[in-house]
Amino acid sequence: MAIRKPLKFVLQTIVVGLAAAFVYVLLVEPQLLKHDANVVEVTETPATPPETPPLRGGVFNGIAVGPVSYADAVQRAAPAVVNVHTAKIITRKVHPLLDDPIFQQFFGNRLGQSRREIQTSLGSGVLISKQGYVLTNNHVIEGADEIQVLLADGRSARATVVGTDADTDIAVLHIEADNLPAIVIGDSKRLRVGDVALAIGNPFGVGQTVTFGIVSATGRDHLGINAYEEFIQTDAAINPGNSGGALINATGELIGINSAIYSRSGGSQGIGFAIPINLAKGVMTQIIEQGHVVRGWLGIEAQDLTTQLAESFGLASTHGVLISGVLREGPADKAGLLPGDVVTNINGQEVADTSAAMKVISEQHPDTVIVLGGVREAKPFYLKVRVQQRPQQAGLGN
């Protein structure tokens, strides 16, 4: 009996302990009662916030990424983009019927006097230097009697025309003002399809506006817009009023002058064209230094070779140009070039098409002698031609 009492006490203590443990597990740690042979228990570490790409671009997870915002680029370029306001005085008759001889017989010119009106238009421009030179489109200021430039900081100045070049649709203006901003000029030859492009201008006169896109193509020609075409195509929205404004890259450098849009509705449809800054800069330099642009000229009309034309002339490719017209007493005529000749190279360099040939010829200084090579009646020929300066409004293109 003496042994049974301690044993009973021990057993009671064990039972009470097990009961207390069961109650604790049931109420405090119920998940310990669950068991699934197919579940592996793991201990998770607290999640860390994911890394975000750098705001100004750089390398992220080993991959180069662009900036999240282009505000720095816009802030760098926008002060140099200006609004161009033009005014032109036009004269119109009160009514065309008053020019009728019967009315003239009874009333003379008393009722048919002309009325003068002021026609205004809006465009954009870019301050190229702190000396006040503004680059814009020729069609923005063409025929204007007065030109006013409104700066981004609110100042306004009257502009004078330094010179224009209708063949590239470039015009250079000059304003007098202190502390003028100037845009940083980039290199349009380094552009690649897919590069970021931002258009800054004054569309529809609403005020300075920035639109975003990419470079869709480079070297666009055969558009029938200008005599000399080498356009940057972009899907950055360009609308009426943007003409003459800036096309900049992701760092705020000027890469082009917005010039035209392809549109059936009059608004932007994602196909805009800008004059490459390298081309515009060369034209601007000549205008500032000489007052006009000097280009080489041969006095010819040329057209691209089609596959059918190339076969008919016995050519293996369509590279080259067909001479369709020669101006009498012009440089090419004096050298003996004839309509129907096919020019395949200039100074030994192959020319792909009329745009390439036109560019090579225009870059020659007047009085330079060049050698044209090609095919005449299935036989090769070479001619030396002395280049002349391209006349204003030349009847023949090259």
Reply yes or no on whether 169 is catalytic: yes
Please, which residues have CB within 8 angstroms of residue 120's CB and are 6 or more apart in sequence? Answer: 85, 86, 87, 88
Tokens of 334: 């004096």
Indicate which residue of 188, 216, 243, 362 is catalytic: 243
Number of other residues whose CB lies within 10 A of the CB of residue 168: 24
- Contacts by residues 204-209 (CB-CB < 8 Å, ≥ 24 positions apart): 204/122, 204/239, 204/240, 204/241, 205/122, 205/241, 206/241, 207/83, 208/78, 208/81, 208/83, 208/152
Reply yes or no on whether 243 is catalytic: yes
The answer to whether 142 and 186 have CB atoms below 8 angstroms apart is: no
Indicate which residue of 169, 188, 216, 259 is catalytic: 169
CA distance 228 to 360: 11
Taking CA atoms, 377 is separated from 346, 370, 374, in Å, by 19, 22, 10
Indicate which residue of 124, 139, 167, 188 is catalytic: 139
CA distance 31 to 149: 77
Number of other residues whose CB lies within 10 A of the CB of residue 261: 19
Residue with tokens 């390439």: 356
- Could you tell me where the DSSP H helices lie in the chain? 4-27, 71-77, 101-107, 138-141, 277-290, 307-312, 331-335, 354-362
Reply yes or no on whether 362 is catalytic: no
The answer to whether 374 and 345 have CB atoms below 8 angstroms apart is: yes
Closest CA to 242 of 140, 341, 173: 140
Cα dihedral 153, 155, 158, 161 in deg (nearest 10): -10
Would you name the residues annotated as active-site residues?
A: 139, 169, 243
